[in-house]
A and B are shown apart, each in its own frame.
Chain A
Amino acid sequence: MSSRYDGALAAALQTFFVEATEMVEQMEQSLLELEQSPGDPELLNALFRSIHTIKGSAGLFGLSRLVAFTHEVETVLDKLRAGTIALSDALSGLLLSCSDHVTVLIEQARTATPDAAPAHSDDALSSALVEQLRGYLEAPCRGEASGATAAESAEEAACSEVSADPELWHVSLRFRPEAPARGIDPLATLGYLQELGELVMVETFTTHLPPLSELDPERCHLGFELRIRTPGGRAALEEAFEFIEGDCDVRLLPPDAASEAYIGLLDDVPDEAERLGEILVECGALSAGDLHRSLSLQHLEASEGSTMRPLGEVLVAEQLVSPAMVEAALEKQGQVRERSEPARVFRVEAERLDGLINLVGELVIMSATAHAQAARHPELLETTQRIGTLVEEIRNNALSLRMVAIGETFARFKRVVRDISGKLSKRVKLEIEGGDTELDKSVIEKIGDPLMHLVRNALDHGLESPADRLAAGKPEEAVLRLSAQHDSGSIVITIADDGGGINAARVLARARERGLVAAEAEPSLAEIHALIFEPGFSTAETVSDISGRGVGMDVVRQNVEQLRGRIAIRSQEGVGTEIEIRLPLTLAIIDGFLVRTCATAMVIPLEHVEECISAADIEIRNGQALINQRGQPLPIIDVGDVLGLGERSSVARRSVVVVRFEGKRAGLAVDQLLGEHQTVIKPLGRLFQRVTALSGSTILGSGEIALILNINELLNTATGPQAPATGRESTTRSRVSTSA
């Protein structure tokens, strides 16, 4: 490779690692899905393609160990795809181990210095896996058609090097629709060719074949790309096609045909250029690398985001073809691409998106500022209002760029469920619903670990062994359901199992033992269930390597709460457990209710606001401020007091905002209500990060800073001491002074 590609390649290599990792994930997913629907041809194809792509790209970068290993895997997958071997559980397991090993190899390639010797253990693993894979190849094939074995040997040849077989011709046939009406049968033509020599590969093209309801069965829509080894040479082949001339487009490529000729084929077969390219590579028409390498290079550079170097330029630069030839081929490919890829996908670094969203956030604030200032200049008001609307749209658009479907995160659990249920000898079916539900990428990234913990927990503690299930009159196979759905501006993720449920008596006993519940207290069932989210709580009798170290559920709750989410649990003994996580769609924005107290602006997340009432009726009972609200005492928290904002304000008519969080309610006494306000959240500075009653800050149109209140913590402050039995430590009052 010439030196001027080095830079591009180094950058492309990074993209390769990302893509290859995705390909391994795809391989894993295909394998797992195949366990659900065995033999699905599309899945088998996807499986093959994923490893084929890794091998091809790895070859480009000279990652020989990766190529060598993936080649072995590919060979087996090709047999699977062809149906000559079946996907047994054992083979599926082996292939999963192989995909793990490919991940290891990719990781090594990423981190290793080029010349570093591989660890012995990895080499041993490689050869052990390869040996097992080869075991499957030696297994007797079903239906040993001569054509099949010939095709296999052709592929072997393709995998290694350019076939320099002097008798090997490439024939491209596209039958015209009216051929049958004139007595031409494509299969008869193939049969005749078979007499002329050995067909080492036949690939059937049905690009123009309509589904049955639109098919005129007497018109032909078949095409073939085939390679034939014949001693008769051109004369014999031309003679063979003389008869069908006019009913079939025939192209003959002699054994010594140059790469140009094959590239030229791309131009000649309408609509099929991409697939043909694939096949030419596969059958070794071009050296197994040349075309592929060119395509990969182009593809990698394109996804790298650098200016896309046209394929032609790549090919010419690599001295594969003449410029004119390429132009013709490319034009055709361009047409195909335009037709077949109406929605193109770009890969964009997450950081760039974050940068964009940050800027848009600033823009929102500045636009609000401009609008506030325009109040003094009525002629500007209309303009600033329109700008405000536009900015809001831009912000919504920008945020939607970062929305990702949760399905991928869910899909990861298939493997987890498979492996863990196998280890525990439980039979578990994983059901996934609403995988296309979208939420902010930053939320998805942070919810993966808590979800993983919940899934492991459900598998380990929630679901019973098959024997226990049968004894309980349940189906032997347990069901674990992961679902996601949108619900009024949040996303709700549910992890439900049909296992044994929570043993309330045991939880209560353990909680009393740990002093989490007073001995005489009689908490409700819901309160008992909520106990499992308490720090250091675990009822599992044995600590397993899967879960049960007692550091789990409280950490899960913390993680969820850090995402401004809530977690709830419902469980019925003997029937199952359902854990519901409710998360905001994005962490960047919050719908808030703006209030002012002690001259400081504050934002109360709107989802917690119930109503606003007058503060005139506050009474003090036993040192606790209360309001009698429709016969119920409602504790009042003075926000200014809690945050230590100094002197009680002298505002005459104060207000109370009634808020609730997880069934707890309280009134927040504030000086002034300013109304609803959608704000872009800014993190708190380090100084304030230990003030748990605040969750963030924002900048108002006036340039003033507003503090976003953490209602959960505020309510704990107010209701903690009275909380019935949960005995949760009351949050220590944090004193903070602001200089807003």
Chain B
Amino acid sequence: MSTLELPERLLITECAALREDLLAALECAEAPFVIDAKAVRDVDGAGLQLLLSTVLEARKRGIPLELDASQGLSELLQVLRLEHRFQRVGATSV
């Protein structure tokens, strides 16, 4: 299992750098790849899109991906009916 911690701000200004971090982490990820988003407080469209795109990338590479979302992020995903696209953390080891 490898984990990548996301910062508090998941905004368009951070996304280019975050994308590099995510790609690098996926490159050497050990399954499952956990995105620790417990600290995330501010999300915009670009940030959300980055997460969704990471799911696609992980699937393409065959790496199971789990998301440990902060309450705010969880609520956002729920409102947008996107929560089913993410595996919650620990779900595979239950």
Which residues of A are found within 8 Å of B92, using beta-carbon distances? 37-39
Give the complex CA separation of A72 and B73 in angstroms: 30
For the residues of B in contact with A, the DSSP-based class is helix
Q: Is the pair A209, B56 in contact by a Cβ cutoff of 8 Å?
A: yes
Query: Which single member of B16, B19, B23, B44 contacts A187 (CB below 8 Å)?
Result: B44
Could you give, for residues 41-59 of chain B, a 1 whenever the CB lies within 8 Å of some chain A CB and a 0 otherwise? 0011110111011101101
CB distance from B76 to the nearest CB of A (A): 8
Complex: chain B residue closest to A80, CB-CB: B84
Question: Which residues 170-227 of A sit at the B interface, judged by CB distance below 8 A?
Answer: 175, 180, 185-188, 190, 199, 201-204, 206, 209-213, 215, 217-218, 220-222, 224
CB distance from B10 to the nearest CB of A (A): 11
CB distance from B19 to the nearest CB of A (A): 5
Q: Does A44 belong to the interface (CB within 8 Å)?
A: yes
Q: Does B3 belong to the interface (CB within 8 Å)?
A: no
Q: Is the pair B56, A204 in contact by a Cβ cutoff of 8 Å?
A: no
Complex: chain A residue closest to B60, CB-CB: A211
Q: Is the pair A143, B12 in contact by a Cβ cutoff of 8 Å?
A: no
Complex: chain B residue closest to A145, CB-CB: B75
Q: Does B4 belong to the interface (CB within 8 Å)?
A: no
Give the complex CA separation of A83 and B82 in angstroms: 10
For the residues of A in contact with B, the DSSP-based class is mixed
Give the complex CA separation of A392 and B26 in angstroms: 51
Could you give, for residues 71-94 of chain B, a 1 whenever the CB lies within 8 Å of some chain A CB and a 0 otherwise? 100111011111111111001101
Given A187-B44, A211-B57: A82 and B78 interface contact (C-beta under 8 Å): yes
CB distance from B44 to the nearest CB of A (A): 5
Complex: chain B residue closest to A202, CB-CB: B80
Give the complex CA separation of A211 and B26 in angstroms: 12
Which residues of A are found within 8 Å of B57, using beta-carbon distances? 211-213
Give the complex CA separation of A204 and B49 in angstroms: 11
Q: Does A148 belong to the interface (CB within 8 Å)?
A: yes
Q: Is the pair B79, A147 in contact by a Cβ cutoff of 8 Å?
A: yes
Question: Which residues 15-55 of A sit at the B interface, judged by CB distance below 8 A?
Answer: 37-41, 44-45
Which residues of A are found within 8 Å of B87, using beta-carbon distances? 39-41
Given A82-B84, A209-B49, A212-B19: A185 and B12 interface contact (C-beta under 8 Å): yes
Given A38-B94, A143-B75, A220-B45: A215 and B81 interface contact (C-beta under 8 Å): no
CB distance from A492 to the nearest CB of B (A): 28
Q: Does B15 belong to the interface (CB within 8 Å)?
A: yes
Complex: chain B residue closest to A84, CB-CB: B78
Q: Does B22 belong to the interface (CB within 8 Å)?
A: yes
Which residues of A are found within 8 Å of B74, using beta-carbon distances? 143, 145
Q: Is the pair A212, B44 in contact by a Cβ cutoff of 8 Å?
A: no
Given A185-B44, A188-B44, A213-B57: A39 and B88 interface contact (C-beta under 8 Å): yes
Q: Does A81 belong to the interface (CB within 8 Å)?
A: yes
Q: Is the pair B79, A222 in contact by a Cβ cutoff of 8 Å?
A: no
Give the complex CA separation of A83 and B73 in angstroms: 14
Q: Is the pair A212, B45 in contact by a Cβ cutoff of 8 Å?
A: no
Number of interface residues of B (CB under 8 A): 40
Q: Is the pair A83, B45 in contact by a Cβ cutoff of 8 Å?
A: no
Which residues of A are found within 8 Å of B60, using beta-carbon distances? 211
Q: Is the pair A212, B79 in contact by a Cβ cutoff of 8 Å?
A: no
CB distance from A241 to the nearest CB of B (A): 16
Q: Does A151 belong to the interface (CB within 8 Å)?
A: yes
Give the complex CA separation of A24 and B50 in angstroms: 36
Give the complex CA separation of A220 and B83 in angstroms: 20
Q: Is the pair A209, B53 in contact by a Cβ cutoff of 8 Å?
A: yes
CB distance from B57 to the nearest CB of A (A): 4
Which residues of A are found within 8 Å of B50, using beta-carbon distances? 212, 215, 217
Give the complex CA separation of A188 and B46 in angstroms: 11
Could you give, for residues 12-32 of chain B, a 1 whenever the CB lies within 8 Å of some chain A CB and a 0 otherwise? 100110110011001000000
Which residues of B are found within 8 Å of A39, using beta-carbon distances? 87-88, 91-92, 94
Give the complex CA separation of A361 and B49 in angstroms: 58
Q: Is the pair B45, A215 in contact by a Cβ cutoff of 8 Å?
A: no
Query: Which single member of B26, B48, B84, B91 contacts A81 (CB below 8 Å)?
Result: B84
Q: Is the pair A222, B48 in contact by a Cβ cutoff of 8 Å?
A: yes
Query: Which single member of B44, B53, B78, B91 contacts A211 (CB below 8 Å)?
Result: B53
Q: Is the pair A220, B79 in contact by a Cβ cutoff of 8 Å?
A: no
Complex: chain A residue closest to B44, CB-CB: A185
Question: Which of A185, A215, A221, A224: most chain B CB closer than 10 A?
Answer: A215
27 residue pairs from A and B, CB less than 8 Å apart? A37-B92, A39-B92, A44-B84, A82-B83, A83-B78, A83-B88, A143-B71, A147-B79, A148-B75, A151-B81, A180-B12, A185-B45, A185-B46, A187-B48, A204-B81, A206-B52, A209-B49, A211-B53, A212-B19, A212-B50, A212-B54, A213-B23, A215-B53, A217-B18, A217-B53, A218-B16, A218-B46
